[in-house]
Structure 1
Amino acid sequence: MLGNFQHSQLRIEVEATAPVIRDSLTKIPQLRQWLAPLPLGEGLPERLIPGVTLHTGVGLATLTQTVDRVGDDHLRLILSGTIDGFHEWYWGDGWVQSRLEGISLLPLNLGQTLSLLKLKQFVTTVKSPVV
């Protein structure tokens, strides 16, 4: 893989509960909403589980993301293609954290920041699920 090794860890406050954040990061319909217009691929299950593969990107900038781990407060994706590395998400009531490491020609921190801002905007519009 061509590029530079990059790593970034960002944490932001969000006006959302942990279940809302979890569902926004692990349920395919919610992912499609806040990641639009990026495609995720077809034939995906309702929720991310280990082994599921997402295909995103536009033109030559394509990214394959394979779910490595998923839990009530975390998600880990193995990345290949435009980025070779991993992306970890952690969350709780009122916060979300993204950790990204990989080799790429693209500025990973910029994409990571934009993703976090889009997620923040999305989760603030979602109602908390009734438990």
Structure 2
Amino acid sequence: MLGNFQHSQLRLEVEAAAPVIRDSLTKIPQLRQWLAPLPLGEGLPERLVPGVTLHTGIGFATLTQTVDRVGDDHLRLILSGAIDGFHEWYWGDGWVQSRLEGISILPLNLGQTVSLLKLRQFVTGIKGQSV
């Protein structure tokens, strides 16, 4: 893999309960909404479970993400393609944290920041609703 080793850890406050954040990160219909316009692939189950593979990206920046672990308060994805590494998510009532490590020519911190902001906007818009 060409590129530089990069790592970043970001944590944001969000106006949402932990179950809303969990469902937004682990249920495919919610993922499709806040990750749009990025595709996720077809034939996916309703919810992420270990072994499920997502295919995202546009053009040369394609990314394969394989679910390694998922729980009530965490998600770990193994990354390959445009990024070789991993992406971990942790959450609780009122906060979400993202840890990303990998080798890539892409600016990982920028993409991670955009993803977190999109997620915060999405969960804030559905707070109080059951997902």
TM-score category of the 2 structures, normalised to the smaller one: over 0.9
Measure the CA separation in 1 of the matches of 2:113 and 2:127: 24
Alignment match, 1:100: 100
Kindly indicate whether residue 60 of structure 2 is the aligned counterpart of residue 60 of structure 1: yes
Describe the superposition over 1:42-80 as per-residue Cα deviations: whole angstroms up to 9, x where unpaired.
Answer: 000000000000000001110000000000000000000
Shift of 1:127: 3.7
Kindly indicate whether residue 2 of structure 2 is the aligned counterpart of residue 41 of structure 1: no
Shift of 1:129: 5.4
TM-score by length of 2: 0.97
Task: In structure 1, list runs of 5 or more residues that go unmatched.
Answer: none
Read off the aligned partner of 2:63 and give its amino acid letter.
L
TM-score by length of 1: 0.97
Task: In structure 2, list runs of 5 or more residues that go unmatched.
Answer: none
Shift of 1:98: 0.1
- Aligned residue pairs: how many? 130
8 Å Cα contact 1:4-1:104 kept in structure 2: yes
Measure the CA separation in 2 of the matches of 1:74 and 1:30: 16
1:1-131 aligned within 5 A = 1-128=1-128
Read off the aligned partner of 1:49 and give its amino acid letter.
V
Describe the superposition over 1:64-118 as per-residue Cα deviations: whole angstroms up to 9, x where unpaired.
Answer: 0000000000000000000000000000000000000000000000000000000
Shift of 1:128: 3.5
Structure 1 outlier segments of 4+, above 2 Å = 127-130
Measure the CA separation in 1 of the matches of 2:95 and 2:117: 12
Give the RMSD, CA atoms, in angstroms: 0.8
8 Å Cα contact 1:85-1:103 kept in structure 2: yes
**Percentage of matched positions with identical amino acids:** 89
